[in-house]
Amino acid sequence: MSTVPPAIADAYDPERFRADGKRLVDALADQLTAWQRGDGPVLPYRAPADARAAWALGDIGPTAARGDLVADLARFTAASTALANPRCMGHQVAPPLPGAALAELASAFVNNGMAVYDMGPAAVPVELAVLDWMCARLGLPAGATGVLTSGGSLGTLTALLAMRQARAGFDAWRAGANGGPPLAVVTSTDAHYAIARGVRVLGMGDAGVIAAPVDGHHRLTPDAVVRALATAGDRHVLGVVCAASSTATGAFDPLDELADLCAERGLWLHVDAAHGGGLALSPRHAGKLRGIGRADSVVWDAHKLLMMPALVTAVLFKRGGDAYAAFAQKASYLFESGAPEDTWWDLGSRHFECTKRAMAVELWATLRAHGEGWFGAVVDRQLELAQALAAKIAAAPDFELALPPECNIVCFRPRGDGIDMRELRRRVIEDGRVYITGTELAGSYWLRCTLMNPLTEPADLDAMLDVIRALCRA
Ligand SMILES: *Cc1c(COP(=O)(O)O)cnc(C)c1O
């Protein structure tokens, strides 16, 4: 006779899970069909205050009628920004590979926290297999390894911690940020804000970032780094943070040349490949990452060009031992004692999280299901779409292109005096037929598209430009 109260037993009933799961997958597949057909808006916009009221929990007390899990999830899905709609071209977030969403269900289902091997006897080796594959694809040398963590921002912080521990000249983990001379990193004025934020979190303050101006192609050149180093004064420079590609424009810094400079000056080279790491899988475009295998550390987001659901970020280290430098503390109740390298199976000593979602399984399973060539073909498709959009803009007398795209990011705007670009972007959001973003470049505002959806067609690009034309006239 079970002592479990019926309501608890019912919620855990495998048959209930089976029935709900089948209904849910059916509902999601119907939604995916509608999205791919372009039915409905990309962004079902409503005023934030209205949305807040509409999504109140309502009565969940003892006497209330119970919600239908599947109906509620279908409603949630339908009210969300439709990344799978071919006219969604906004942020760098992928319409997730449907198989990866299923893999994420399996990950949530086992809920293996995986900071320690005994909480992830499958999740830990799966993660290590994915990391080995990523290191190899970037051309990092034997002995390279890393860790998966929750997003590029946390990944950047992790890499900066390792850089500081390796290059500060004192034990900054134990002595604190001020245990030696003031520290700084050199990066570009176009660098993602995660870098400036990470430096502040490390206690290095405003002076911890030396931002070198980008060149006319939005790249950080070795000359600019040399000039920035000359301004360091009493600051001890740890290393250089460069981008492949940058967030705003998709520009690739010349990694090989920057690696030469860093080698010459004894500086740590960190490559922020959160966005562009996926180009490594495309034989056609991998050359844009030339030199990345010489980096001391790399951040690569699989939830960007590898089409994974957020968040799956790799922090990779050329020397595996550096992976242990970021978080040098001990937690004897979790980790076996001894040198951390001796317990390489306990990943928690290398990442910020304590409990960590088993996030490698979606990449592991979909790589096996589709093969790595599939991922390279998606990258090719997205870069081709960006070229197609740039060509349409260059050919249209009423639009201007900020710069020729190197990646899948296109910055442009309609020509004409008196168009307030921020206001125009706001109208695009409220209109909802297409989804794009905006960015400031050298002090002026541009519209910005990231071509993340491999199902986007050239006709969708024309439709997007037509929506902008119509909103300009309105
Ligand atoms: C997206 C991005 C980041 C931040 O990554 P999150 O996963 O969004 O935290 C950092 N750097 C670059 C270049 C990016 O494109």
Bridge partner list, 271: 242, 298
pTM across the whole model: 0.96
Q: To the nearest whole number, what is the mean pLDDT of the chain?
A: 95
- Phi and psi dihedrals of 79, rounded to 5? -90, 5
pLDDT at 329: 58
Reading across the β-sheet that carries 437-441, which strands appear in turn? 399-401, 409-414, 444-450, 437-441
Q: Please tell me the distance between residue 191's alpha carbon and the centre of ligand 1 in angstroms.
A: 10
Kindly state if the Cβ of 346 falls inside 6 Å of ligand 1.
no
Amino acid symbol at 189: T
Kindly state if the Cβ of 159 falls inside 6 Å of ligand 1.
no
Kindly state if the Cβ of 460 falls inside 6 Å of ligand 1.
no
Q: Please tell me the distance between residue 247's alpha carbon and the centre of ligand 1 in angstroms.
A: 7
Kindly state if the Cβ of 413 falls inside 6 Å of ligand 1.
no
The residue whose CA is least distant from atom 2 of ligand 1 is 274
Q: Please tell me the distance between residue 384's alpha carbon and the centre of ligand 1 in angstroms.
A: 22
Question: pLDDT for 212-227, tens place per residue?
Answer: 999 999 999 999 999 9
3-state DSSP call for residue 458?
helix
Question: pLDDT for 312-342, tens place per residue?
Answer: 999 999 998 888 888 875 555 555 555 656 6
Give the chain's count of helices (H) and strands (E). Answer: 15, 11
The residue whose CA is least distant from atom 8 of ligand 1 is 152
Considering only CA atoms, which of 453, 305, 273, 313 is closest in space to residue 379?
Answer: 305
Question: pLDDT for 169-202, tens place per residue?
Answer: 999 998 999 999 999 999 999 999 999 999 999 9
Kindly state if the Cβ of 127 falls inside 6 Å of ligand 1.
no
3-state DSSP call for residue 126?
helix
**Ligand 1 pocket test, candidate residues 91, 150, 153, 188, most atoms within 8 A of CB:** 153
Q: Which pLDDT tens digits describe the chain residue by residue (474 residues)? A: 899 999 999 999 999 999 999 999 999 999 999 999 999 999 999 999 999 999 999 999 999 999 999 999 999 999 999 999 999 999 999 999 999 999 999 999 999 988 889 999 999 999 999 999 999 999 999 999 999 999 999 999 999 999 999 999 999 998 999 999 999 999 999 999 999 999 999 999 999 999 999 999 999 999 999 999 999 999 999 999 999 999 999 999 999 999 999 999 999 999 999 999 999 999 999 999 999 999 999 999 999 999 999 999 999 999 988 888 888 755 555 555 556 566 788 888 889 898 999 999 999 999 999 999 999 999 999 999 999 999 999 999 999 999 999 999 999 999 988 899 999 999 999 999 999 999 999 889 999 999 999 999 999 999 999 999 999 988
Kindly state if the Cβ of 312 falls inside 6 Å of ligand 1.
no
Kindly state if the Cβ of 188 falls inside 6 Å of ligand 1.
no
pLDDT at 324: 85
d(CA 431, CA 424): 10
Kindly state if the Cβ of 214 falls inside 6 Å of ligand 1.
no
- The pairing of strands 444-450 and 437-441 is antiparallel
pLDDT at 211: 97
d(CA 128, CA 354): 18
- The pairing of strands 268-272 and 236-243 is parallel
Kindly state if the Cβ of 270 falls inside 6 Å of ligand 1.
no
Bridge partner list, 411: 448
Kindly state if the Cβ of 471 falls inside 6 Å of ligand 1.
no
Query: Which domains are present in the chain?
Result: 106-370 (3.40.640.10)
Q: Please tell me the distance between residue 192's alpha carbon and the centre of ligand 1 in angstroms.
A: 7
Query: Dihedral through CA 395, CA 217, CA 206, CA 208, nearest 10?
Result: 150
CB 232 within 8 A of CB 184: yes
Amino acid symbol at 212: A
Kindly state if the Cβ of 249 falls inside 6 Å of ligand 1.
no
pLDDT at 342: 66
